[in-house]
Amino acid sequence: LIKGLSEKLFSQEIRFKEFTDKWELKKLGDISTITTGSSNREDSMLNGEYTFFDRSQDIRTSSRFLFDKEAVIVPGEGQEFIPKYFIGKFDLHQRTYAIFDFRGIYGKYLYYHLLNDDKYLQSQAVGSTVKSLRLPMFQSMPIKSPCLDEQTTIANFLSVIETKIQTEKNILDKYHSQKQYLLQNLFI
C-alpha cells in the first residue's frame, strides 16, 4: 500500500489539490550534508545508551554518540540499501551514511523519497560480492523537490499510512499469539 502510494506521489501521478507548482530536480549533495561514521561493529553492544546504525537490520546500541540531529541513515554496504529516519543521538558505522543538515528539504520527505527510489541506490552500487555505495553517488543523486509545504504534506500523509499499517501488523501479531495460546491450551 505505502509503496504504491509513494510511487504515485513521487511521480506526481497524484497530487494534493492545493499544490500546483512545478517540482525542481536537485542534487542531494546540494541540499544536505552527507557523511559516514567512524565506528566499527565491535563498538556496538546490546545494552548501550545510544542507537548504533550499521548495515544490519537488527538494532544495536553504543555507549557513545557521534551525532545529535535529525538524519536519514543509509547502509553503505549490503544487498539492500533501506533508509531509516532518526532524530536524536546516535553512533554510526564507518560504512554507513548519515544525511542531515537539510537545506530546502524536509527530512521526513527525503526519507520517503529515498525509500521510494530504491532502484537508484541499487543501480549505483558497485562490487561483485558485497555491493557498496560511494559518497559521490549520494552527492549527485537527483531528488524531486516540491515546495516545503507540499513536502511536509506528503511526508505527513505517508507517515500516517505507515503508522496505521504498523498498528494493524501489531494487532495481527497479538491475534496470532492468542491463537497459538488457545491452540496449545485447548488440547491439554
Predicted confidence (pLDDT) per residue in 72-126, tens digit: 999 999 888 999 999 999 999 999 999 999 999 999 999 999 999 888 988 988 9
- Buried b / exposed e over 93-132, threshold 16 CB at 10 Å, is bebbbbbbebeebbbbbbbbbbbbbeeebeebbeeeeebb
Using the predicted structure, report yes or no on whether residue 12 has a pLDDT greater than 80.
yes
Residue 186's pLDDT band (cuts 50, 70, 90): confident
CA distance 186 to 188: 6
Backbone phi, psi, residue 90, to 5°: -155, 160
Domains of the chain by start residue, with CATH: 2-186 (3.90.220.20)
Give me 122's grid cell: 541499487
Contact 66, 81 (CB under 8 A): no
CA distance 171 to 14: 30
pLDDT of amino acid 188? 60
Global pTM?
0.89
CA distance 80 to 27: 22
